[in-house]
Structure 1
């Protein structure tokens, strides 16, 4: 069922009927509920279409329909008989194209020897609904309307034109005012842009200067680090010779084939030997750190027998645990896969960690264990039941020469190089060294290594 319902029909049989059609268009548009400006647009478009059709093709039938579909509105069709040249329709379409912009819908059809131009305008949401009762009411209102004379309609048309011109002038004045405001705003934006550009350039110059200074400082730091490394290496070499000589002399004097010593002399020589050995350990730590920093340490991967490494560490570390309350526990590495890495570096890392655990454990145990991770890497874990490390110090303990002062540490001699060196070696082996610790409960150091050094 078509949603269109006829409201009114009229015709253009003479030239002055164009004014009647314009009047009818305005009246129907007003009655159906279109707003004032839309009424003028419909009337203007319809009069232009009617004038062109009548001028080119003769009499025109005009039908006003109400569209009661999903988008209700006014639909007007103008029909004329086609009797001209084949190109007449194209010329007509060009002539009435301007009217197309005044309406919402537009269609030009050529069928059965006729030309039909259909135009439509959608009702606003505030317009009354086009119910059957409303349609009948509209038909009654429109049926009693009497067309005015062409002159009167011409006057109305002129009034509409003047009102439109006033509106256009008002819009023009408003546009001029807005343009002036926009130009003023643009000048402000341009001034702000220039100011910001100057500030940005100044900032960029400052950033460039800062980067240059940072580069210079970085170069100085690199030079200082290299100088420190050279200094540590040189000092270590220079100290090793006299310390080694002292140890050699002590062994010579305490040799059974040498002259007998008194008990006091032997005690003093034992103290000299112990101090020299301790000094040699510190000197070796400095030398190892210097080698690591200079990049002269290169891992030499071999297949490592973890059972042999663990047993060797068990014997060495148990001899260092002089407190009877401290036990060294080394678990058997059963079920662990083969590990290809630098054996010497691995032993140094684990020995440093276990020595550190023994040093700061008053009672309990220091334990070495191994376990395979889900990502096919190996964890070697050194845990203790010592005094623990405060969380704020977890990263500091890996800094060179850094030592935490406390009840037990105060009586412990050290250089603060063991943990930094262990972390450097772990990195050279392609792994990492991490710490978990709780004050009063102990610490756990975990060395995570790939099963083959160099595979990440």
Structure 2
């Protein structure tokens, strides 16, 4: 079903102009934008002009669907002689001196639906449709009746205004056509200077390159996402294996011990593969961040010696020799990535050398340091010396079949070296050994820029206590931000140890939350260094990580240890305990109702808080300035001085502005009042709680969020 909006009759030439005008009016009333209004008006005008010229008149009807999806329908019917060449016109094969065919084809392109029926000597009917914009709601019968009335009341007596508007549209269209012609002329000039065969070839190459780029991005994204997904369960498997092997839950039989060690070894191998995949994916995606620091090659070799000692225990017939570097100045580049490159070279050398030695050295070559790792192993054939730097490539040999690997270590080493501005290569001879080289610039090429970027400024809120969070995982940082939002603590984020050290110099955090598994950095050394420094040794440190190594963390000086994911209340309560230890905590109750104050004291009877009472707002402000409580519990409805006025005075006075305030009231708050209080208080509690247990839980959570320790 449809509703008729308007019916027009074309008898004179000016009726064509008026039909165009009313088509625009109908489109405007239905909510079409200006561009669609012009299209509708033009299409109707073309068909109406054809009807007048060839049939001496027509009936034009505008209607709209009653049900969704709604369409505007325009029917133009005449009683002329019909169109003899209709099919040729619609196929674009008919040309007329009067332009009849062009008008029909143009109107067809401007509309969503276009149908035309023509019977010789009986007439022609053109049926056109346009979908209503999706952004509009369905037009109700009442709205359609209103549109009918509006259209009926509009007096179509002045065609000149429509002709003027049509001329303006024609001028704009001509200007657009002129611009397009200029663009075409310019393009044609360029195309004349270009060989078409070469252009086609470049287009094909670009398409294939784009396809390969998208495929590579998909592969990188897949590896990155899946590596992250694999890490957590693998860490859990390794941690649980350690618990079983350390007999923490009871003794194991000999077979059980062997089975658990197999599980642990398989999980560690798989974790190595996942870590290599993740590192490779991050380098390829351009997401690997370089953290240049100053370090000595001597210190780097000492670290590698200790790190790789366990590998020598399995092969006593191979010696690892790290030559003492001579005449090499301090490097300024990413120490972790240089160590990762050399570690891959050395582990490969130890793996493919049955007896002899693996010798590590370093020499100065211009402004670069060339590291070398030479082994006396099986060697690599010349055709394979370039292939080994491709992903997942392993050379066939009897020794390689015994030693399973991923084929990712060398490709990753090459990409890391290129990231640092250097290169890697190999010299090798079958059965005599191989020497891998890594040439690394003394100074990271973008070190000046990186240095300027790594000087952040932290905006400190004086009303909150700063907490330094050393964490490189964006999701975990976001979680901590949510945990500390509207609490008494302000988070200072540092994604690297160098930023953490800068933060400690600039700020004085009341506590540190430290992740151990930072990418390519030794957080254990940072923990020990912070606790051995007289300026920072008294700052409590909470180690928060996914691996259960609490004993090692506590042995190195950590004050607390938490396993990720960390519960919000547990984390805040642990911070409160460490920050407030040895300090007396005072809670000020400002409430004119003595019964309410008594109930609150009973709810907190098991805590160690010192509770101070004030029976009105004036007394509350005086005690807040005198006693400097750890937190204030404030009622809103009080005589003489309301809770809102008390809060305003507390926050405007320098002595009390930093004291966290918890609202505890039975007042029904307006939206503006809630917004005002939310910006100035820790939390808003209601006195009307269903049970005592709920009241105690809500009060304890609020006090914990305010920074109090509730020792029971």
TM range (shorter): 0.5 to 0.7
Give the equivalent residue in structure 2 for 1:285: 276
For 2:381 and 2:198, locate their aligned partners in 1 and report how far apart those are by CA, in whole Å. 39
CA distance in 2, matches of 1:359, 1:317: 12
Match of 1:452 in 2: 443
Structure of greater Rg: 1
Deviations along 1:313-363, one digit per CA (max 9) or x if unpaired, are 112223212222211111112321111110111110110111111111111
Q: Deviations over 1:240-273 (max 9, x none)?
A: 1221121122123233331211111111111111
Provide the residue aligned with 2:339 in structure 1. Answer: 347
Asked if 1:306 is matched to 2:302, the reply is no
Contact 2:360–2:371 (8 Å) recurs in 1 = yes
Q: 2:246 aligned to 255, 278, 296, which one?
A: 255
Tell me the equivalent position of 2:320.
328
Partner of 1:295: 286
Q: Deviations over 1:200-256 (max 9, x none)?
A: x9x933322121111000000000000000011111112112211211221232333
The residue number in structure 2 matching 1:232 is 223
Q: CA RMSD in A?
A: 2.0
- Confirm or deny: 8 A CA contact 2:292 2:444 kept in the other structure: yes
2:206 to 191, 215, 219: 215
CA distance in 2: counterparts of 1:235 and 1:405, whole angstroms: 29
Equivalence for 1:271: 262
Structure scoring higher RCO (CA < 8 A, sep ≥ 6) equals 1
SS at match of 1:358: helix
In structure 2, C-alpha distance between the alignment counterparts of 1:246 and 1:412, rounded to whole Å: 23
* Distance in 1 between residues matched to 2:307 and 2:210, nearest whole Å: 43
Distance across 1 between alignment mates of 2:290 and 2:267: 30
User: Secondary structure at 2:324's aligned position in 1?
Assistant: coil
User: 1:367 — aligned with what?
Assistant: 359
Aligned residue number for residue 415 of structure 2: 424
Q: Which ranges in structure 2 are unaligned for 5 or more consecutive residues? A: 1-191, 448-712
Find the aligned partners of 1:252 and 1:313 in 2 and give their Cα distance. 28
* Cross-structure match for 1:393: 384
Instruction: Report the 3-state secondary structure (helix = DSSP H, G, I; strand = E; otherwise coil) of the residue aligned with 1:234.
Output: helix
Report the count of equivalent residues.
Answer: 256
Maintained 8 Å contact 1:431/1:448? yes
Q: Does the aligned pair in 2 maintain the 1:430–1:455 contact within 8 Å?
A: no
Q: Is the 8 A contact 1:360 1:387 kept in 2?
A: yes
Contact 1:298–1:428 (CA under 8 A) maintained in structure 2: no
1:338 is matched with 330
5 Å-filtered alignment, 1:155-170, equals: none
Q: Output the CA distance in 1 between the equivalents of 2:364 and 2:267.
A: 41
Indicate the SS of the match to 2:270: helix
Moved more, 313-322 or 207-216: 313-322
Q: Describe the superposition over 1:420-444 as per-residue Cα deviations: whole angstroms up to 9, x where unpaired.
A: 0001111111111111111111111
TM-score by length of 2: 0.35
339-348 vs 243-252, which moves further: 243-252
Runs of 4+ in 1 over 3 A off after TM superposition: none
Cα deviation for residue 455 of structure 1 reads: 7.1
Q: Does the 8 Å CA contact 2:320/2:359 hold for their aligned counterparts?
A: yes
**Alpha-carbon distance in structure 2 between the residues aligned to 1:334 and 1:398:** 30
- The separation in 2 between residues aligned to 1:252 and 1:378, in whole angstroms, is 43
Q: Is the CA contact 1:303–1:341 (under 8 Å) kept in the aligned structure 2?
A: yes
Q: How far apart, CA to CA, are the structure 2 residues paired with 1:450 and 1:280?
A: 31
- 1:395 is displaced (CA, Å) by 1.1
8 Å contact kept, 1:377–1:451: yes
Matched, 1:411 2:402: yes
Gaps of 5+ in 1: 1-200
Report if aligned partners of 1:383, 1:443 keep a CA contact under 8 Å in 2: yes
Whether the 8 Å contact between 2:234 and 2:271 is mirrored in structure 1 is yes
